[in-house]
Structure 1
Amino acid sequence: MSKLSFSLPRDRVVPVSSVEVRLDATSHPFELEHQLAIEENWRREREANPALFDGRLVLLSQVSYEQKRVIGRCHSVRYATLLYWRRARPAGAEHAYAHAALVSSDGALVAIRMGTHTANPGKVYFAAGSFEPMDFVDGMVDVEGNMAREVREETGLDILRLPRDDEYQLFSRDGITVIFRRYYMGEPADLIAAKISDFVARETDPEIEGPVIIRERDNLPDGVMPYMKAIIDWHFSG
């Protein structure tokens, strides 16, 4: 692959047997090139939402899909860099994250609605967050570890010992790639939602507003992220 290379199937769900994305210790070329624009956009973002925190996450500089393997390279960047990239969507970087799609015993999907103080206020998707430097083991991304950490932090649920699909799935559009896997909860959706609601009520500063139950693909909640429609359709299509 060339220095900057993004070669993934777009706008369709495809199976993934392994995710082999390495963390490069060097700065992302995109962040170096756009430093002034990143700072100016961060100032505007903070004025609109002072609760935002400029932590660290990763952006891709290379990624490809080869024989069901996702192979790539990423770099640690500021959260401010992601927000600028997300707003302007210039070339030179792409973003990937993982979703644990929780499936209830009655066949529903259990998602979450983000809190009003976050960068995605009111948006609906599965409990998730960007890959962070802590999500890499010996330089390689730990997708399952990221999923478990994010679900636990946002919902209080532990997915590490749950039955799950053998493979991941991937959906990519407009520079955003979602790697997802279904986890089977063994309880009805209403009970799972009640547990999440109880957890949120006990948190002093919860990330999410609460759970969202999705029971069919043609009746989606307000605020559902556009890419979620493809995942939901894939799930309910069998």
Structure 2
Amino acid sequence: MSFDLPRNVILPVDAIDVRLDPGPHPFALSNAAAIAENWRQEMAANPALFDGTVVLLSELAYRDSRLVGRCHAVRFSTFMLWRKRRENSGAEHAYAHAVLVAGDNALVAIRMGRHTVNAGRVYFAAGSFEPVDFRDGLVDIDFNMIREVGEETGLDLSAAERGQRYHALSTASGTVIFRRYRVAETADELARRISAFVASEDEPEIEGPVIIRNATDLPDGLMGHMKPLIEWHFADSGEVR
């Protein structure tokens, strides 16, 4: 199957069947020495990095509004080398975004903290899939979304109104699976809550909230995949989809 899905277009997704293979990723096996050396350099540049566990895909396909794939647990150090050697690596990255929609229809994103890999970049609160996000080997997308938003912003989205379906956008840098999460509070109210949470943390993951009120006035540091998602939302934001 390898990687077989349309690129650079937003796809409707009704079902997600991405499974965790217990075996090692071939990229990790064939690049062990390079991974160790690159990690030494990364740690020298940013000692705050942590070599935790994330997942990388070895297969992903889109068929009949379904995403089907296989992934493997890898060390974060493996992921860091892959970011530099992703072309023809036999590996790709997928992650999820809870598109946080405030009661006034504005979007609430975050700016990442200075000590993180994506320092200063703006996107919806999110993180890579981890083994904890899988149930009986199958990824639980909404669990990942809610967990990551809670860890980074302090917000609990478990009772938020969810879009009726997922969507996905696959680019050369990875595949983002996203879904609207609507809450009653205004964007300013959400921003105040997030800022208070960040101020209470000893080592917050984010600098703070970023409010996006339309598709034309966009913040500095916006990640490349975000602009299509923002345009998608404001083009037809009246429908809970």
So what's the TM-score if we normalise by structure 1? Answer: 0.97
**In 1, Cα distance between the equivalents of 2:72 and 2:20?**
6
Identity, % of aligned positions: 59
1:105 positional shift: 1.1
Equivalent residue number for residue 104 of structure 1 = 102
Gaps of 5+ in 1: none
Runs of 4+ in 1 over 4 A off after TM superposition: none
Residue of structure 1 aligned with 2:199, choices 194, 198, 201: 201
1:175 positional shift: 4.3
**In 1, Cα distance between the equivalents of 2:151 and 2:143?**
12
The AA in structure 2 aligned to 1:60 is L
**In 1, Cα distance between the equivalents of 2:107 and 2:84?**
29
Q: Secondary structure at the match of 1:41?
A: helix
Equivalent residue number for residue 226 of structure 2 = 228
Note the 1:1-238 alignment, pairs <5 A. 1=1, 5-91=2-88, 92-238=90-236
Q: What whole-Å deviation, never above 9, does each CA across 1:6-48 have from its counterpart, x for those lacking one?
A: 0111101111011110100000001111112211211111111
Q: Secondary structure at the match of 1:231?
A: helix
The AA in structure 2 aligned to 1:180 is F
The AA in structure 1 aligned to 2:47 is P
Q: Secondary structure at the match of 1:169?
A: strand
Q: What whole-Å deviation, never above 9, does each CA across 1:111-167 have from its counterpart, x for those lacking one?
A: 000000001100000000000011100010010000010000000111111111110
